[in-house]
Structure 1
Amino acid sequence: MFCFQCEQTAGCAGCTSAAGVCGKKAPTARLQDELTGALVGLARTVRASESGAAAVRPATDDLVMEGLFATVTNVDFDDEELRRLIGRVHAERARIAEAAGTEAAPDYELDELWNAQEDVRSLKSLVLFGLRGMAAYAYHAMALGYRDEAVSAFLHEGLASLADAEAGADVLLPLAMKVGEVNLACMELLDRANTETFGTPEPTQVARTVEPGPFIVVSGHDLHDLKLLLDQTAGRGVNVYTHGEMLPAHAYPELKRYPHLKGNLGTAWQNQRKEFADLPAPVLFTTNCLMPPAKSYADRVFTTGPVAYPGAAHIGMNEGGGKDFGPVIERALELGGFSEPHAVAADEGSEFTTGFGHGTVLGVADTVVDAVKQGAISHFFLVGGCDGARAGRNYFRDFVQQTPEDSVVLTLACGKFRFNDLDLGTIGGLPRLMDMGQCNDAYGAIKVAVALAETFGCGVNDLPLTLVLSWYEQKAVCILLTLLHLGIKGIYLGPTLPAFVSPAVLDVLVREFDVHPVSTPEQDLAAILG
């Protein structure tokens, strides 16, 4: 196998043995490459037959989103499911070609990409991995009935471009920036889908202790799946707890009104094997962040949406477009839960606070602006992104602990679990540490930065604002590309740089965008605060 799309890739270079660091086996990696190549062939067929294939969308677009999402790290480990997806892509490609009276484009061989000249491989990888992340965001919006044809069209455009053997840096670097541009529209779409469906998030304290009785743990990101489960568990005597990136769900008015949405169990995705080992409850994975389940809880794992694992029960979509979570509920009732209040980790029992989305932060913008003008707030830090298991990620906790007492720390995504148990106090009645939500909510942080810049009559780069980002998988890649598209400079990125970024491409990022690999909290803070 060859895979270097995530931060934990072997030796910071690439997974090339019988299995990847994530647990993905070589045959699975090859099938994911085959699926990607089939999607490239489909995209080329769509673009070649655009004028004669008015019925291409939305079914084709949804299939492309699903297929790309299945290749994101920690999503689909099931070879049979990947083969079914490849078959569906081939069938759709043939249908479109026949309807348009054109020839179907062949599958693209991913070995051509992996063996390309170093900088071409780097830039094409940046495009491909960005597309995979953007497809995940588009998939979440699509699940709520929200689509953007420009986003869908660009997924085809970007995939088709991978097969261009003549494309060099002059073509591929602007294309990577376009991934960032289109992803901004995609994240805005998802933000609108979430808030119009579930309401504007509001600051909410979330319990960390599990109550007695049957319960279900929901991990991943998909709010639509959580809503369906809450509807089906209502009145059944089964409580629901979130895990990982689902924590911010508690802040949405339309979700927090369910009295049996009780709290949050555990922390970030890489701790699930420890946190799920002895739970007398089933775990439902709705999106990426699945680790190969340990034997101690493998028989309690359920998957849905793009997530699949061999042997795990999968809850698919029925003909009416809904899902029946009955098997998950019955398993919860059978297992019975804890007999008394239980803290899953030794330090649990307190509360997490979430819900400081852009609606809340901008609602107190006057207070924030006054605090800056009066010198009460000296600096803003956005410390967010993915968590992971590689050594060095304690950097982010140490960094937050050392930020000045007159600074504000915004955070989002599961990287916050490194430090969201800290009490940093308040400034002017506002908490110094504000959780803005999932990685899916990165648009909110961008919106706050742009609004503050407009208020102060300056550019975002002129604000007393520094972005300190941790990355792990492909959704983080497309967010980084969006920030670069917006011209945001001085980003600190860690704990290690992407293996797929060649020295020449890194030189461009450093020269044009002032991207900094993280060093130590002390050195970086000294440089930032000058």
Structure 2
Amino acid sequence: MNQKMFCYQCEQTAGCTGCAGACGVCGKDAQVAALQDQLTGALIGLARASDGHTTTESTHRAMLEGLFTTITNVCFDAQAVQRQIDAVHAEKAKLLPGCSGCASPCSHNDDYNMEKLWQEPDADVKSLKSLLLFGLRGMAAYAYHARALGYSDAEVDGFFYRGMFAIGEDVGTEELLPLVMETGRVNLKCMELLDRANTETYGTPQPTTVPLTIEKGPFIVVSGHDLYDLYALLEQTKGKGINIYTHGEMLPAHAYPKLKAYPHLKGNFGTAWQNQQKEFANIPAPVLFTTNCLMPPKESYAGRVFTTEVVAYPGMVHIGEERDFTPVIEKALELGGYPEEHPMTGINGGTQVTTGYGHGTILSVADQVVAAVRSGAIRHFYLVGGCDGARPGRNAYTEFVRNTPQDTVILTLACGKYRFNDLDLGEIGGLPRLMDMGQCNDAYGAIKVATALAEAFGCGVNDLPLTLVLSWYEQKAVCILLSLLYLGIQNIHLGPTLPAFVSPNVLKLLAEKFHLTFCGEEELRHWDQAACKIGK
């Protein structure tokens, strides 16, 4: 039986309208898409069942893992998704022991049929519910990582149930819009929680230069956000003659003192996540995926891919909750690595990148930054960040950064930086012009810096000489944008294309209230000649 999917949760869906065939642009097939919809409906059922009942740690875990599983480029394995569905149903049965096996179930506790949302006739209701759902999925990733380090928050946990419950209800835009905005507030709290979890566990990030060359000998490439997985692997590879290289979202790990203290954490492998199918081809080493940004592995390296946590792909070896990385270690020793030093470069030919310019570092030299602004040495700040993607045209961000004036500073966050983070832009008053603040989960740091600078200058954040240029891709971009809007930050330039789930009326509302503007490829290339126009 041929199945057809519907998915429009990321910015790069087919035709910018949604993936509706047998397979999505990300590689997710229709069976997995249908199961992920079923999982989402089960999570709404769990939220319904939680109303008036006491949730537990296992309930929270089922909610977070279920939402995280449905993020783009996380799980491609139908059996893994089915296990998540079963786990959610088991938690629901604990909350409602008298309802299991009921011949006439109460509809209020039923799982939700996602077809009802996808076929919602009111475009604005569908758009706001989608914003809420996708924002919750992104926030779940942050809450999941914090929880892995033993950090949680009751309000954050509770909001997942409240938000998912609303998605299943017959509510209008008047009820949905405030809840969407509140998602931004709660996500800000969640990002602060993750920031505290990371820094209290691994130390305050320090500016660090990271080589891109791979040394000879056995090595393992680690991708994703989960610092605890990296820490466990570093512990298990001590003294084994195996070097560890980060990939993609794991790059900021080099800046944390407790992690950088391991001498076999050597450098960063490759460039942006969407280049993995080319860069991983035939490498003599295993690759461990700890969170999202997994792409369907090519035959040239599929036998060397390992997954853990909620990441899964059919046929790949999965490392369970015990985090015993023995199969990964054995594979690294078997393959042996490169016989000689293997030079690699960034997209622009650079041989090294820097990271670690988090809020702790930047605020430690706040007086120096303020003085440079007041003297005119620094005229403007650009925060150029967000998700990267494979669609052509995103190299416009590289050109934009390359062409910024010498008296400006570029702050960057998330995977979009791989378009330009190997550029040498020089310094201003001893400070590098390009400062990598980390990944999307470090966006809280950028907010802290902006708030501190506003206080130093005695003005609002919107009055700072600061321009936000954000690239869109997936669900974590949704919750970060909602946090920025909750804070009242205006004049955000968003692009290069907009996701299909933002309806014209919702887009108009955001544009009018927050002066949110759309910057496509051409606007970025001709920044000085053209103003960004919403919906252009």
Cross-structure match for 1:298: 302
| Residues 333-386 of structure 1, C-alpha deviations (whole Å, 9 max, x = no match) | 000000000024586672111110000000000000011111111111100011
Q: RMSD of aligned C-alpha atoms?
A: 1.6
Residue 327 of structure 1 aligns with which residue? 327
SS in structure 2 of the partner of residue 342 of structure 1: coil
2:75 corresponds in structure 1 to 76
Deviations along 1:391-413, one digit per CA (max 9) or x if unpaired, are: 12112111111211111100011
Tell me which residue corresponds to 2:377. Answer: 376
For 1:35-54, what aligned pairs fall within 5 Å after superposition? 35-47=39-51, 49-50=52-53, 53=54
Report deviation, 1:108: 0.3
Identity of aligned residues (%): 66
Looking at structure 2, the residues matched to 373 and 57 of structure 1 have their Cα atoms a distance apart, in angstroms, of 52
Secondary structure at 2:97 match in 1: helix
Counterparts of 1:344 and 1:424 in 2: how far apart (Å)?
20
Q: In 2, are the aligned partners of 1:275 and 1:344 still within 8 Å (CA)?
A: no
Matched residue type, 1:243 = H
Pairing partner for 1:228 from 195, 211, 232: 232
The answer to whether the Cα contact below 8 Å between 1:275 and 1:345 also exists between their aligned partners in 2 is no
Structure 2 match to 1:93: 92
Preserved CA contact (<8 Å) 1:381 1:410: yes
Q: Secondary structure at the match of 1:524?
A: coil
Q: Does the 8 A contact of 2:212 with 2:345 survive in 1?
A: no
Name the aligned partner's letter for residue 89 of structure 1: V
1:485 aligned onto 2:502: no
Q: Aligned runs of 1:391-430 on 2, under 5 Å?
A: 391-430=392-431
Q: Given the two structures, how large is their TM-score scaled by the length of structure 2?
A: 0.95
Counterparts of 1:526 and 1:57, CA distance in 2: 56
CA contact (8 A) 2:307 2:317 kept: yes
CA contact (8 A) 1:217 1:284 kept: yes
Task: State the match for 1:60 in structure 2.
Answer: 59
1:524 Cα offset (Å): 3.3
In structure 1, C-alpha distance between the alignment counterparts of 2:531 and 2:20, rounded to whole Å = 38
- Is the contact between residue 35 and residue 67 of structure 1 (CA under 8 Å) also seen in structure 2? yes
Residue in structure 1 matched with residue 449 of structure 2 by the alignment = 448
Q: Is the Cα–Cα contact under 8 Å of residues 58 and 91 in structure 2 kept in the other structure? A: no
1:421 to partner: Cα distance: 1.2
Letter in 1 for 2:494: L
Counterpart check, 1:200 vs 2:204? yes
Q: Name the aligned partner's letter for residue 443 of structure 1.
A: Y
Q: Which amino acid aligns with 2:387?
A: C
Verify the 8 A CA contact 2:469 2:494 in the aligned structure 1. yes
TM-score under structure 1 length normalisation? 0.96
Q: 1:98: how far off?
A: 2.0
Match of 1:149 in 2: 154
Tell me which residue corresponds to 2:124: 119
Q: Is the 2:396–2:524 contact (alpha carbons within 8 Å) kept by the matching residues of 1?
A: yes
- Cα distance, 1:525 vs structure 2: 4.2
What residue identity is the alignment partner of 1:161?
Answer: A
In the other structure, the counterpart of 1:190 is 194
User: Contact 1:403 / 1:525 at 8 angstroms: preserved in 2?
Assistant: no
Query: CA shift at 1:522, angstroms?
Result: 4.8
Matching residue's letter, 1:405:
Q
Which among 264, 288, 310 is matched to residue 314 of structure 2?
Answer: 310
Q: Deviations over 1:269-314 (max 9, x none)?
A: 1000111002100000000000000000000000001100000000
Q: Structure 2 counterpart of 1:64, which letter? A: M
Amino acid across the alignment from 1:6: C
Stretches of structure 2 lacking an aligned partner (at least 5 in a row): none
- The answer to whether the aligner puts 1:210 opposite 2:214 as a matched pair is yes
The residue type equivalent to 1:12 in the other structure is C
Distance in 1 (CA, whole Å) between partners of 2:197 and 2:330 is 31
- Residues of 2 paired with 1:361 and 1:267: CA distance? 25
- Partner Cα separation in structure 1 for residue 443 and residue 383 of structure 2: 10
State the secondary structure of the residue aligned to 2:20: coil
Q: Distance in 2 between the 1:164 and 1:141 partners? A: 30
Whole-Å separation in 2 of the counterparts to 1:493 and 1:349: 27
Q: What amino acid maps onto 1:38 in structure 2?
A: A
